[in-house]
Amino acid sequence: MARPKKTAEPRTVRVAIVGMGIGRDNGRPIHAHPRAKITALCDLAEDRMKSFAEELKTEVAFYTDYRKLCADPAIDAVCVCTPNQLHVPVALAAVEAGKHVLITKPLADSAAAATRLVAAAEKARVVNMMSLSTRFSDGALWLGELARRREFGELYYARARSIRRSGIPDWSLGFIQKGGGAFRDMGVHALDTVWWLLGRPVPRSVLGVAGAKFGPLGKGYWDFRQPPKSFWRHHAADDYAGGFIRFRNGVGLQIESFWASHQAPDFNLELFGTKAGAKLHPLTVYRTRGGAPVDEKVEIPKGPGAFTNIANHFIACILDGTPCSAPLRHGLIVQEMMEALLESARLGREVRM
């Protein structure tokens, strides 16, 4: 992978945020960073931009057209937080204008779009990073450090899941339309983080099932809310997906994502290693000592939190040339695994990658 070119960067990175939902969570720690500031916002809803600008207490330019924003020479980097279907169009416009990009998960709404974007971003040699709030959470980073130090021995199996009782997002159609769905929304967090903890093995084959048992019936929406039929009649995505990914090195991964279910809510990752195992929630390391099982409940000191970790890393990549630990290429491989699982569900057979 080509390293981003080193340019004479300004001392303060001028960042634009596109999409005022999770864009605000990404934007706050960027603006609080001593070497970065938010200088522009973009959304179709001007009131959402205004309220965020008031919170930031700073002068920012407002855009409703992301193409015009990307043409603004006073912007160095763009943080893309629109619905899934717009990640690639917005990010393509940004990288083609030479802007660094930080993109919320999932990278795209399809593998083809993700591939196109990664090629363009690498060609432009800009910093291109995924904003991954689970991988960059303090607990996952701590487990990652243990994995790097080989404390688990050989990691040969993992389970990862996101299970909600009634949690289909009802605030944006993008979630439930084609290119949305439970797996790209929440499965992506579990899959990306566990794949990263496993050392990013190369996927070989995927077997999956997926479908929609609640959303198209107007059930299972966020917090048992009842959105109007004019909203839920657009449901055209999975509301559950589950399957098994086999990697080239023999590692197996069981992955599940349910937006709604008759099950207890759960978000978890479990690692199986020859020397130790681990679980993310509650953060636990399982070992054998003196022939007896020892379960270590871990209380890591409260860290800065995922979005601050993401902002700090993004700015360091831009200003210090720090190699990016979450490039879009990672998002592409995760996208390919997700799309293969959904394809396997459609075809009713295993898909080789």
Ligand X SMILES: NC(=O)c1ccc[n+]([C@@H]2O[C@H](COP(=O)([O-])OP(=O)(O)OC[C@H]3O[C@@H](n4cnc5c(N)ncnc54)[C@H](O)[C@@H]3O)[C@@H](O)[C@H]2O)c1
Residue 295 C-beta: closest distance to ligand X, Å: 29
Residue pair 142/283 in contact by the 8 Å Cβ criterion: yes
Q: Which residues bind ligand X (CB under 6 A)?
A: 18-22, 42-45, 48, 66, 81-84, 86, 104-105, 131, 133, 171-172, 185
Distance in Å, CB of 261 to ligand X, minimum: 20
How many Å apart are CA 31 and CA 7, to the nearest integer?
22
CB of 256 to ligand X, least distance (A): 18
What CA–CA distance (Å, rounded) separates 189 from 211? 19
Q: With CA atoms as reference, report the closest residue to 236 among 256, 220, 216.
A: 216
Looking at this protein, which amino acid is placed at residue 105? K
Contacts of 34 (CB under 8 A, 6+ apart): none
What is the rounded end-to-end Cα distance, in angstroms, of the chain? 20
Q: Say how many CA atoms lie within 13 Å of 273 toward its Cβ.
A: 26
> Min. distance of Cβ 286 from ligand X in angstroms?
28
Residue 113 phi/psi, 5° resolution? -65, -40
Minimal distance, residue 350 CB to ligand X, in Å: 27
Q: Decide whether 79 or 285 has the Cβ nearer to ligand X.
A: 79
Point out the residue whose Cβ comes nearest to ligand X: 21
Beta carbon nearer to ligand X, 251 or 328: 328
In this structure, what DSSP letter does residue 132 have? Answer: -
Question: Measured from the CB of residue 171, what is the shortest distance to ligand X in angstroms?
Answer: 5
Nearest approach, Cβ of residue 271 and ligand X (Å): 22
Using the minimum distance from each CB to ligand X, give the nearer residue, 183 or 247: 183
Question: Which is nearer to ligand X, 162 or 344 (by Cβ)?
Answer: 162
Q: Which is nearer to ligand X, 107 or 126 (CB)?
A: 107
In the complex with ligand X, which residue's Cβ is closer, 86 or 317? 86
| Contact (CB, 8 A) for 18 and 90 | yes
The residue among 39 and 104 lying less far from ligand X, judged by its C-beta, is 104
Among residues 269, 301, 271, which one has the least CA distance to residue 286? Answer: 271
Buried b (16+ CB within 10 A) or exposed e, 295-334: eeeeeeeeeeebbbbbbbbbbbbbbeeeebbbbbbbbbbb
